[in-house]
């Protein structure tokens, strides 16, 4: 069945470090792919999305490219800030609008 696998956390980085959070997926067809972020004590917010192969989603300095050949949608940011500390979820959208989430990756950025 459809599934999403993310790298396990927690990930701890120093401010201004480069961030990569790996995400791979298994799906039939060509799903839309998403990254959601959950800040402490808050609900999920859409960070970025890509709807077809080779699309690049970007927002707030984060970006991810839909790679069909490697079934991946890795999240990257060139220089993280303390305010980026949160849990990041990779997700794919299947038929009917359902979202299937990865297990989440907790990011902690130290000053």
Partner 1 sequence: GAVVSQHPSRVICKSGTSVKIECRSLDFQATTMFWYRQFPKKSLMLMATSNEGSKATYEQGVEKDKFLINHASLTLSTLTVTSAHPEDSSFYICSAGLASDTQYFGPGTRLTVL
**Is residue 102 part of the contact set for partner 1 (CB under 8 A)?**
yes
Question: What are residue 34's phi and psi, to 5 degrees?
Answer: -140, 155
**Is residue 24 part of the contact set for partner 1 (CB under 8 A)?**
no
Rounded to whole angstroms, the Cα distance separating 71 from 106 reads: 22
Q: Considering only residues 42, 69, 70, 95, which one is a binding residue for partner 1 as defined by CB under 8 A? A: 42
3-state secondary structure 69-83: CCCECCEEECCCCHH
**Is residue 104 part of the contact set for partner 1 (CB under 8 A)?**
yes
CB nearer partner 1, residue 67 or residue 101? 101
**Is residue 20 part of the contact set for partner 1 (CB under 8 A)?**
no
Q: Considering only residues 44, 55, 59, 67, which one is a binding residue for partner 1 as defined by CB under 8 A? A: 44
Q: What is the DSSP string of 19-78?
A: EEE-EEEE-SS--EEEEEEE-TTS-EEEEEEE-STT-EEEETTEEEE-BTTTTB--EEES
**Is residue 111 part of the contact set for partner 1 (CB under 8 A)?**
no
Q: Are 107 and 84 in contact (CB under 8 A)?
A: yes
**Number of residues forming the site for partner 1 (CB under 8 A):** 21
Residue span binding partner 1 (CB under 8 A) among the ranges 22-30, 37-45, 53-61, 76-84: 37-45
Q: Which spans of this chain sit near partner 1 (rule: CB under 8 A)? A: 32, 36, 42-46, 49, 51, 89, 93, 96-104, 106
């Amino acid at each position: 069945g459809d599934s999403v696998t993310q790298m396990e956390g927690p990930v701890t980085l120093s401010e201004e470090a480069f961030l990569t959070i790996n995400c791979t997926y298994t799906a039939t067809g060509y799903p839309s792919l998403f990254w959601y972020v959950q800040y402490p004590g808050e609900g999920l917010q859409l960070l970025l999305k890509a709807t077809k192969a080779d699309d690049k989603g970007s927002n707030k300095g984060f970006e991810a490219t839909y790679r069909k050949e490697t079934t991946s949608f890795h999240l990257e940011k060139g220089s993280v800030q303390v305010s980026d500390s949160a849990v990041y979820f990779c997700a794919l959208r299947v038929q009917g609008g359902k979202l299937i989430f990865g297990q989440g990756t907790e990011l902690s950025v130290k000053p």
